[in-house]
Structure formats: structure tokens, C-alpha cells
Structure 1
Amino acid sequence: MGKHKTLEISQRAPNSSVYNLTLNRPSARNALSRDFFTEFPDALASLDRNPGAAVVVLSGAGDHFCAGIDLKALTSITELGQSTDRGRTGERLRRDIKHMQDAITAIERCRKPVIAAVHGGCIGGGVDMMTACDIRYCSEDAFFSVKEVDLGITADLGTLQRLPGIVGYGAAMELALTGRRFGGSEAKELGLVSGVFASKSALDEGVGAIAESIGAKSPLAVVGTKAVLQKSRDMTLDQALDYVATWNSSMVLSDDLTEAVAAQSQKRKPVFAKL
């Protein structure tokens, strides 16, 4: 797995197919440092390649999920502004932003489902990260803010692109323009999270159980569902139906289908090969 400065990867239990990916800078409220933007996509790529990993649960160590981009990382951007060549400065800044965007999009590139388990603060870049996840849950004490407008910047790591598809255009515009703080129950009302748990421990246990239930399903079906749903966002209905027909024509004739049907008729739990 390698040693990470900003993250920790652990298997949920010895024989589990669920892996925990934990943001691990609790003293900095898991703010996203320069190191994070290199380590995070590497960690997701390693989980993607790991045949024993079927589902990833993303959470934060300490009291908060994520306080957003580390201000030190932002300071290096403002230092760029002291150069006299605006064209070269702008090009380098654009490359920097694309590098950071790419680290968040790594959640979508990971074939395995990534579930966000949010407690405490989820601010700015934290919202970018959770909106890229496949399913989101939080604890009652969680609070959220699309904070960038208050820092004089336009959110650029994916919130403005992904949030409208989750909560609707009107709600996304209101949250992004006000930058206001809202809690777990409102996040549930908005559809930002699928469920709210009473405490951090209930969140960890509940999300773990949900992840295990997904991990017990056909890996081909789970990976295919994520891939097809993602692709369908950017397609017309006709194109999306065509895409899934092509996908299933190469994937559906698998041992998973045979095993799922046999297990149902024999009233037993199916056992699937790893991917």
C-alpha cells in the first residue's frame, strides 16, 4: 500500500471486500495539501487494481471530514500572481487547477463504488470530493458549505459541475452563491446524502454494513452499474441505451449470472469470483 502522508488505507475486516480510505490529517481538519493531490489518485488506483477490494468507504479521521483546500496550497497559487508575464502565469495556474481536478475525478475513474461517510465539517474542497462519490451518507453533526465564493474564488474542483445533478440546479445555485452552512438533516432533504446517522460510530457501522452488502453482489454487475450510470449522465437516452446494450453484450454472459440465478433458486447466498 505504501506510506501516505495524508491518507490511510485499511481493510474493514480480515476477509472483507470493503476498504476504508481515510483522510488522515486530523490536526489540520483533513485540509487538502499539495501531497493529497498526488497521493489520493494513487490510492484510488491501487484500490481499483486490488481484486480483493470491491467497495471503498471514504471518511475523515478526527473531528471533521474535510475543511477544504489547505490555505498553504492556495498561498502557492497567490505567489504565482507576482510574476510579470500574465500569459505564462495563467497557463501554469490552469495546469495546477487541472492537476487538482484530476485528483478528485479519480473517484469516478475508480471502477469500484466509492461511498462518502461524512461527519463534522465538509467545506469547499470537501464538497468537491463528496459530490464525486457514488453514494453519500452523513452523521447528524455534519455540516456543509460550498465556501469558495467567500474566499473570492469560483469553486473549481467539481462542485459546480456535479452538485446540480445531485440536488437540482436551483438548490445548487443557492448553496454556491450564498456559501451558507447547512446541516445533516437539510443535506438529506436536498438529496445530497442518502441517509443521516445519529453519531459518528453509527455512521461508520451503518455505512460499513451497506458497503458489505454491495461487496457481496456480483462484481461485474456493480462495476457495470457505476460505469453505465456515469456514462449516461453525458449522453442522450438513445445513446445511453445503446451503450448499456454494448456493455452487456460483452459482460452479461458471465459465471456471475449463472451463480446469481442458481443461488436464488436454491435459496442460498451467491458466491462470486473476485474481479
Structure 2
Amino acid sequence: MSDYKAFRVELKDKIAHVVINRPEKLNAMNADFWTEIIDIFRWADETDEVRVVVLSGAGAHFSSGIDVAMLAQTATKFGADAARNADLMRRQILKLQASFTAVDECRKPVLAAIQGYCLGGGIDLITACDMRYATVDAKLSIREVDMGLAADVGTLQRLPRIIGDGLARELAYTGCDISGEEARSMGLVNRTYADYDALIAGVFEIARVIASKSPVAVRGSKRMLSYMRDHSIADGLDYVATWNAAMLQSADLRVAMTAFMSKQKPEFAD
């Protein structure tokens, strides 16, 4: 694996563990973070050995959001012309969006393990993941409204599809903190755990189950679920028929059926 400044990446037993590794800065998202995350998830997408990704934060917190120092640095590039400033800012926002789109579009399932702070950009990041899990006392918040701006890196686009429009609006308008347990009750996280150790153990157990399944079937399931966010049921049914016309010819189907009939655990190729 490459050496990263903002992350630590490990691959073991088909599971890639991607760790935001700036604990001394509460895992704030600096310039290195935004470029490295694209490279990491491109690697996860293209590496056949990777079946599933677990995303976590080192230390006491998942992430405190975008590094304020990075935002201040962008402001220093402004000139006198409003149009040129706007063009600069728009390109910067689109670059940040692309970093989390890389997470969203990774063909492998991405599981977020959240402890401590998950603020601002942290919410943008976890909403780009497939599933989210948290400690009961985690603190989650859409903080952008308190900074005088609208969240612009994915939260307002993805969160309503996860928890519904009304709850998403309440969180976005108020900037209020919610606990991990409150996040579970509204469907933002799937499960909660008593502490960090239990969280990591629980999330990796789920990841191991996913990693044991047919990678063709898991990848196809993710593709269909993602496709349905923006299409009608009729479109989805037509698409999955076309997809499975090819994928049902996979050797994985024969392996799964043989294992089922012989009551053995199937072993699937990468």
C-alpha cells in the first residue's frame, strides 16, 4: 500500500480498513485528505481482493469535518472580481464533491464506523457510504448552518434519501447535535454499540459476512440499489433483467448451489 498522510489503509481477509488518521486534529479533513481519499477508493474499487471496505477514524473521534485552515487558504486566492471568485469557488466545491462521489461509486460496500464527533463534512462522508454504525454516545451534526453556509459536499443530496425529507431538513436547518442512538432511531445508522471496541468488532463481523458472499452478487446488488435512487421501479426491473442476463452465467451461481445442496460453506473466487 502507498503511504498516506491523512489515512492508514490495511487489507486483511478481503476487508480493506480505511482509517482517517489525524487524531491530533480530531480527524479534520485537510488538503491531503481530499486527494488521498480518491486514490484509496479507486484502489478499493479496482482491487479484486477487496470485497468490502470499513471506514473509521483514529482516536476518539470519527471526524470533526472540513479543516477550517484549508477553507481559509482558499479565501486567500480571491481577487477583486466577483465572477472570477465565484468560478474559483465553484471548481473547488466540485473537487471536494468528487472526493465523496468516489466513495459512493466504489463498487464494493463501504461500512462507516462512527465514534465521537461526526460533524459537518463527516456527515457528507458517511452519507456516501452504504451503511453506517455508531457508538451510542457519538455526536453527529450538520454544522454548516452555524458557519453561515449550506452544506455543499453531498449531505443535502444524500441524507433525505436515507432518513426522509422532514428529518433531514430539521437537522440541516437547526445544526443540532444528535447522539448515535438518536441517529439509529431515525435510520441514519443501522446499529449502535456501547463503545469503540464493540463498534469495531461489530462492524468487522458484518464486513466478514459480506466478504464471504459472492463478489459478483454483492456488486450487482449494490449497483441495483444505487441505480434505484434515481430511477423508477419499471426502469429498475428492466435494468436488473439486463444485468442478470449476463451475471446469472457466473460460476458463483454454480458454486453457491453446489454448496447449498451439500450443506457446505461456499468459497468464491475474487
User: Partner letter of residue 5 of structure 1?
Assistant: K
Compute the RMSD of aligned alpha carbons: 0.8
The question of whether the paired residues in 2 share the 8 Å contact of 1:167 and 1:192 is answered with yes
Q: Does 1:32 align with 2:32?
A: no
Aligned with residue 193 of structure 1, among 178, 189, 192: 189
For residue 63 of structure 1, what is the aligned residue in structure 2?
60
> How many pairs align?
270
Separation in 1, partners of 2:76, 2:146: 20
Q: Does 1:272 align with 2:268?
A: yes
For residue 248 of structure 1, what is the aligned residue in structure 2?
244
CA deviations over 1:29-72 (Å, ceiling 9, x no partner): 11000111110010011111111110000000011000000001
The question of whether the paired residues in 1 share the 8 Å contact of 2:124 and 2:154 is answered with yes
- 1:77 Cα deviation after fit: 2.7
For residue 6 of structure 2, what is the aligned residue in structure 1?
6
Look up the SS of the partner of 1:173 in the other structure: helix
The question of whether the paired residues in 1 share the 8 Å contact of 2:137 and 2:181 is answered with no
Q: Does 1:51 align with 2:52?
A: no
The residue correspondences of 1:229-240 to structure 2 (distance < 5 A) are 229-240=225-236
- 1:85 Cα deviation after fit: 1.3
Q: Which segments of 5 or more consecutive residues in structure 1 lack a partner in the other structure?
A: none
Look up the SS of the partner of 1:265 in the other structure: helix
Q: Does 1:142 align with 2:145?
A: no
Q: Which segments of 5 or more consecutive residues in structure 2 lack a partner in the other structure?
A: none
- 1:249 Cα deviation after fit: 1.0
Separation in 2, partners of 1:63, 1:185: 18
Look up the SS of the partner of 2:76 in the other structure: helix
CA deviations over 1:183-203 (Å, ceiling 9, x no partner): 011001000000001110000
Percent of matched pairs sharing the same residue: 45
Separation in 2, partners of 1:243, 1:78: 45
The question of whether the paired residues in 2 share the 8 Å contact of 1:188 and 1:195 is answered with yes
- 1:222 Cα deviation after fit: 0.4
TM-score by length of 1: 0.97
- 1:78 Cα deviation after fit: 2.4
User: Partner letter of residue 8 of structure 2?
Assistant: E
The residue correspondences of 1:90-239 to structure 2 (distance < 5 A) are 90-239=86-235
Aligned with residue 80 of structure 2, among 73, 77, 84: 84
